[in-house]
């Protein structure tokens, strides 16, 4: 029989190893999330260097989001089937090589190919990272702390990308916005090889649902592509509504396929629990608003207030600080006590309030309190929404489906970001056009006011989305139905190789 001192001694290294695993996973998550925004600030410099047009510029962003968004479910399922540690390492190496190719790109075509490859390997890496976290932390208190860190990075990664992108572009060269991934990947790769556990699957290996993979990958590709075209060509263009219609039909066909196949790519039982389904919805709604903040606040501070790239990134620091504080306080103290039914609506209302305050900005606003207060409120809101939603989205899912459950979190965030960028940009552009028509002749002052009017339109729409999300979350989430306090015994028990477990209180 093992003595108590021996047991304590063996438990300590295991616990320490788990926290080092969290550091590795967090590095990988940061690399994927910040890549969605770190390149944006570098685009003007890259455009001058490589000589591509304004019309082509969007493809630097779109190539990444198309590959990433359409392959996330496949990446998550592959992690479940062939091993998460193996897929995690493959994703890290591939992402690093693609980043190096993009940083050294001699032509626009090579840059686009590299960005698409980043998306492919990011789709392998992101869901696997969340699955590793889900299966590594099973003790509720530790799980709460781990997801607080992970959720904070998921929410703050875009803002960190703006800060890092501004510093690298202004201090070094636009290419370092891609090379920086290789620096991060080296540390993450060494940590993954040494620290990430290699959990072996027991029993027969299920088959990959190839028809389902094709249907959902094509559907997600059409969805992201349709919204991307809506941003540039308008909602009435065939390239917009045609692809969006195709996306709807392909997703319906995918669901029908999953209901009758023996080895589904996405076991629909994952979505039967309303807490879990609402958690995915909350991540999607939060992404819509977050991308609105990054897009329009960045435009505002650079074009209206004339901030430098570094000043633009630094201006988001208070938001990052508040997000991290709220995430840790929420996951360690508030979510275990109140559950997502309370925390997510509060976060949504804080974000809605921030959006309303953004509408008070004008061409002469000062950073404090004009920008500072709403940015801090936005950070607090995201810190309340993201960790609680991510934790709820993967809580109670059987170990063998952890990868696909993690992929759904990332898919929700990616789809929400694509919808938000296209929808808000289109609405803002229409509002600017209407304003200029009604205030002719157009002078520089009128043009500046028109831009502010367009931003305000987007902020009001975001405020409405967050307010609606608060009501929806308050109604759909069960009362403490996924609070950690109710799941202590369940989470400490080993995960069996069985169908998805329905959570307590269903």
How many structural domains compose the chain?
A: 1
Q: Which domain holds residue 95?
A: 17-196+265-492
Identify whether 10 is part of a domain: no
476-487 pLDDT per residue, tens: 998 764 343 334
pLDDT exceeds 70 at position 202: no
CA distance 47 to 408: 34
Give the range with max mean pLDDT: 49-63, 194-208, 276-290.
276-290
pLDDT exceeds 70 at position 223: yes
Reported as a pLDDT band with limits 50, 70 and 90, residue 453 is very high
CA distance 169 to 159: 15
What mean pLDDT is predicted for residues 134-146? 77
User: Residues of the chain with pLDDT > 90: what percent?
Assistant: 26
pLDDT exceeds 70 at position 349: yes
Q: What is the pLDDT of residue 10?
A: 40
Reported as a pLDDT band with limits 50, 70 and 90, residue 246 is very high
Identify whether 321 is part of a domain: yes
Q: What is the pLDDT of residue 204?
A: 57
Identify whether 219 is part of a domain: no
For residues 400 and 470, the model is more confident at: 470
pLDDT exceeds 60 at position 58: yes
Reported as a pLDDT band with limits 50, 70 and 90, residue 353 is very high
pLDDT exceeds 50 at position 147: yes
The b/e string for 60-91 (b: 16+ C-beta within 10 A; e otherwise) is: bbbbbbbbbbbbbbbbbbbbbbebbbebbbbb
Q: What is the pLDDT of residue 200?
A: 57
Give the range with max mean pLDDT: 22-31, 125-134, 158-167, 277-286.
277-286
Whole-model pTM? Answer: 0.76
DSSP letter at 401?
Answer: G
For residues 374 and 269, the model is more confident at: 374
Identify whether 214 is part of a domain: no
pLDDT exceeds 50 at position 232: yes
Crossing angle between the packed helical segments 340-358 and 274-299, to the nearest 10 degrees? 20
CA distance 81 to 416: 27
- CATH code where residue 368 lies: 1.20.1250.20
pLDDT exceeds 80 at position 245: yes
Identify whether 402 is part of a domain: yes
pLDDT exceeds 90 at position 156: no
Least confident of 21-25, 420-424, 489-493: 489-493
pLDDT exceeds 50 at position 499: no
CA distance 195 to 132: 11
Q: Cβ-count burial of 368 within 10 angstroms (0-12 exposed, 13-18 middle, 19+ buried)?
A: exposed
Identify whether 7 is part of a domain: no
Reported as a pLDDT band with limits 50, 70 and 90, residue 472 is very high
pLDDT exceeds 70 at position 247: yes
Q: What is the pLDDT of residue 407?
A: 77
Is 459 in a helix, a strand, or coil? helix
CA distance 164 to 174: 11
Category of 263 on φ-ψ map: left (φ > 0), alpha (ψ -120 to 50) or beta: beta
User: How many helices (H) and strands (E) would you count in the chain?
Assistant: 18, 0
Reported as a pLDDT band with limits 50, 70 and 90, residue 70 is confident
Reported as a pLDDT band with limits 50, 70 and 90, residue 54 is low
Identify whether 152 is part of a domain: yes
Identify whether 273 is part of a domain: yes
Reported as a pLDDT band with limits 50, 70 and 90, residue 491 is very low
The average confidence (pLDDT) of the chain is 81
Reported as a pLDDT band with limits 50, 70 and 90, residue 138 is confident
- Helix locations, 104-171, DSSP H: 108-136, 140-171
């Amino acid at each position: 029989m093992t003595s108590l001192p021996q047991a304590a001694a063996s438990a300590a290294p295991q616990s320490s190893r788990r926290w080092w695993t969290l550091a590795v996973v967090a590095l990988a998550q940061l690399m994927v999330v910040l890549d969605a925004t770190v390149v944006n600030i570098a685009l003007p410099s890259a455009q001058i260097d490589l000589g591509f047009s304004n019309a082509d510029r969007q493809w630097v962003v779109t190539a990444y989001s198309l590959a990433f968004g359409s392959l996330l479910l496949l990446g998550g399922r592959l992690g479940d089937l062939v091993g998460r540690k193996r897929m995690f390492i493959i994703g890290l190496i591939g992402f690093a090589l693609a980043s190096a190719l993009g940083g050294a790109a001699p032509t626009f075509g090579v840059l686009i190919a590299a960005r698409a490859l980043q998306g492919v390997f990011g789709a392998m890496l992101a869901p696997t990272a969340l699955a590793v976290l889900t299966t590594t932390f099973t003790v509720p208190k530790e799980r709460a702390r781990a997801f607080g860190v992970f959720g904070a990075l998921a929410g703050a990664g875009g803002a960190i990308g703006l800060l890092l992108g501004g510093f690298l572009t202004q201090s070094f060269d636009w290419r370092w916005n891609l090379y920086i991934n290789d620096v991060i990947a080296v540390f993450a790769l060494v940590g993954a090889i040494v620290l990430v556990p290699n959990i072996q699957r027991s029993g027969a290996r299920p088959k990959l649902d190839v028809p389902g993979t094709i249907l959902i990958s094509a559907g997600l590709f059409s969805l992201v592509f349709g919204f991307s075209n809506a941003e540039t060509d308008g909602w009435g263009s065939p390239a917009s509504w045609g692809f969006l219609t195709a996306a709807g039909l392909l997703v319906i066909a995918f669901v029908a396929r999953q209901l009758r196949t023996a080895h589904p790519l996405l076991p629909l039982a994952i979505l039967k629990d309303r807490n879990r389904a609402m958690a995915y919805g909350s991540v999607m709604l939060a992404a819509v608003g977050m991308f609105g903040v990054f897009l329009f606040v960045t435009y505002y501070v650079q074009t209206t207030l004339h901030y430098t790239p570094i000043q633009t990134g630094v201006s988001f620091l208070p938001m990052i600080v508040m997000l991290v504080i709220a995430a840790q306080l929420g996951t360690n103290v508030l979510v275990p006590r109140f559950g997502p039914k309370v925390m997510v609506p509060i976060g949504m209302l804080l974000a809605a309030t921030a959006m309303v305050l953004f509408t008070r900005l004008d061409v002469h606003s000062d950073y404090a309190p004009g920008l500072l207060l709403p940015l801090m409120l936005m950070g607090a809101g995201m810190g309340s929404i993201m960790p609680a939603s991510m934790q709820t989205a993967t809580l109670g899912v059987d170990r063998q489906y952890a990868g696909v459950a993690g992929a759904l979190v990332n898919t929700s965030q990616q789809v929400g970001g694509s919808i938000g960028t296209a929808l808000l940009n289109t609405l803002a552009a229409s509002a600017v056009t209407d304003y200029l028509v009604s205030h002719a002749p157009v002078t520089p002052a009128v043009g500046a006011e028109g831009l502010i009017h367009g931003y305000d339109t987007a902020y009001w729409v975001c405020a409405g989305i967050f307010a609606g999300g608060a009501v929806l979350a308050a109604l759909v989430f069960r009362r403490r139905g996924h609070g950690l306090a109710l799941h202590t015994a369940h989470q400490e028990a080993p995960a069996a190789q069985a169908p998805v477990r329905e959570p307590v209180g269903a």
